[in-house]
Amino acid sequence: MSEVVGTNFVHCTVLLNEAVDALAIQPDGTYVDCTFGRGGHSRLILSKLGPNGRLIAFDKDLYAIAEAATITDPRFTIVHEGFVTLAESLARLGIEKIDGLLMDLGVSSPQLDDGARGFSFRFDAPLDMRMDTTRGQTAAEWLNSAEEKDIAEVVKDYGEERFARQVAAAIVTRRASKPFATTGELSEVVATAVRTREPGQNPATRTFQAIRIYINRELEELSLTLPQALRLLKTDGRLSVIAFHSLEDRIVKRFIQDAAKGDHLPSRLPVRASEIAAAPLQVLGKPIRASEIEIKANPRARSAILRVAARTAGPL
């Protein structure tokens, strides 16, 4: 499914049907789309809800909020916040429990393809990288003030860049003579520090990813939100999460696996199975990846992986 947005960028919603089908929509249920984006998943969820159903969507991005404003359905509510405010925001709306929650992680195609946002090295534009441009520090502000060791740590941990120390040193040397202002400047400096790269990959790929994740606190907010989702889900409620790179998928995988194990007791402890509390989550099926047909139509779907779990009656 493609959506044409106001800036003339086309966004193809990845794993659209698979992610929404995984929610097993109940017509009168209450659902959350943690990452509205351009509304592909939200619109499909709404099409499956009955008159008494409800959908609450979250997004930091002002363009996403503007797109959400075009949906006049009374069953739909958009929240201009990151999903880390999930429990707090739902409480304000008078919602105590939900029937399902969907997360489509990472950066969207319109964000990458709009050079003015500063997410991509493909354009020479202001070095911003904030998903919410109304608050927080820009990438340029951080790069021009951070300690070299902190830059190296971010590039290594969030970008898995083996030349992280060299990249950080090059950035600090360059900013001493001229502070960073554009994506092109950063891309050029990183290229001098990264000696080898996988075929077809720009030398700045990992560094740009790392800085974007850090500026937007993506992994931290994901780790803080998953436990909130578990507490909010009703029994049999569904959790449907799409990740696009190994760092975020690792967090999702470990969270689901840990919650599906229940009590962690020593293997030889003399306890009956009936005395062990049920795990609060149940893993549903194997991870789902995009089909070759979808990947051909949208190459960015290649790295997507969908994990699904259901809330049990087990205690938290």
Pair (229, 255) in one structural domain: yes
| Residue ranges at the known binding site | 39-41, 59, 83, 104, 111
pLDDT averaged over the chain? 90
- pLDDT at residue 2 above 60? no
Average pLDDT of the residues in 43-59: 98
In-domain check, residue 118: no
Identify the CA nearest to 205 among candidates 164, 159, 140: 159
- pLDDT at residue 55 above 60? yes
Pair (174, 225) in one structural domain: no
Identify the CA nearest to 209 among candidates 100, 99, 121: 121
What percent of the chain clears pLDDT 90, i.e. is strictly above it? 80
**What pLDDT was estimated at residue 31?**
99
Pair (139, 223) in one structural domain: no
**What pLDDT was estimated at residue 1?**
33
- Angle (deg, nearest 10), helices 205-215 and 148-159: 100
- pLDDT at residue 196 above 60? yes
Pair (76, 12) in one structural domain: yes
Pair (51, 11) in one structural domain: yes
Pair (236, 104) in one structural domain: yes
pLDDT tens digits for range 12-37:
789 999 999 999 999 999 999 999 99
In-domain check, residue 115: no
Pair (23, 151) in one structural domain: no
Split at pLDDT 50, 70, 90, the class of 6 is very low
- Expressed as residue numbers, the domain containing 52 is 2-109+218-311
CATH of the domain at 233: 3.40.50.150
In-domain check, residue 64: yes
pLDDT tens digits for range 216-241:
999 999 999 999 999 999 999 999 99
In-domain check, residue 122: no
- pLDDT at residue 308 above 90? yes
- Boundary residue ending a domain (163, 198, 215): 215
**What pLDDT was estimated at residue 224?**
98
Pair (18, 54) in one structural domain: yes
- pLDDT at residue 275 above 60? no
| Residue ranges at the known binding site for S-adenosyl-L-methionine | 39-41, 59, 83, 104, 111
- Boundary residue ending a domain (193, 215, 237): 215
pLDDT tens digits for range 141-184:
999 999 999 999 999 999 999 999 999 999 999 999 999 999 99
Number of domains in the chain: 2
* Pairing outcome for strands 30-33 and 54-58: parallel
**What gap in Å lies between CA 6 and CA 68, rounded to an integer?**
12
Average pLDDT of the residues in 104-115: 63
Contacts of 36 (CB under 8 A, 6+ apart): 42, 57, 58, 59, 64, 65, 67, 68, 78
**What gap in Å lies between CA 103 and CA 83, rounded to an integer?**
9
> Tokens 């489509």 sit at which residue?
104
- Boundary residue ending a domain (215, 247, 281): 215
**What pLDDT was estimated at residue 193?**
97
**What gap in Å lies between CA 89 and CA 181, rounded to an integer?**
35
CATH of the domain at 175: 1.10.150.170
Pair (195, 103) in one structural domain: no
**What pLDDT was estimated at residue 124?**
83
**What gap in Å lies between CA 131 and CA 2, rounded to an integer?**
21
- pLDDT at residue 116 above 70? no
**What gap in Å lies between CA 32 and CA 45, rounded to an integer?**
9
Strands (E), the chain: 2-4, 10-12, 30-33, 54-58, 76-79, 98-104, 233-243, 281-283, 288-289, 305-311
- pLDDT at residue 257 above 90? yes
Pair (192, 267) in one structural domain: no
Identify the CA nearest to 104 among candidates 223, 20, 2, 7: 20
**C-alpha dihedral sign at 209, 111, 84, 16:** negative
Pair (100, 170) in one structural domain: no
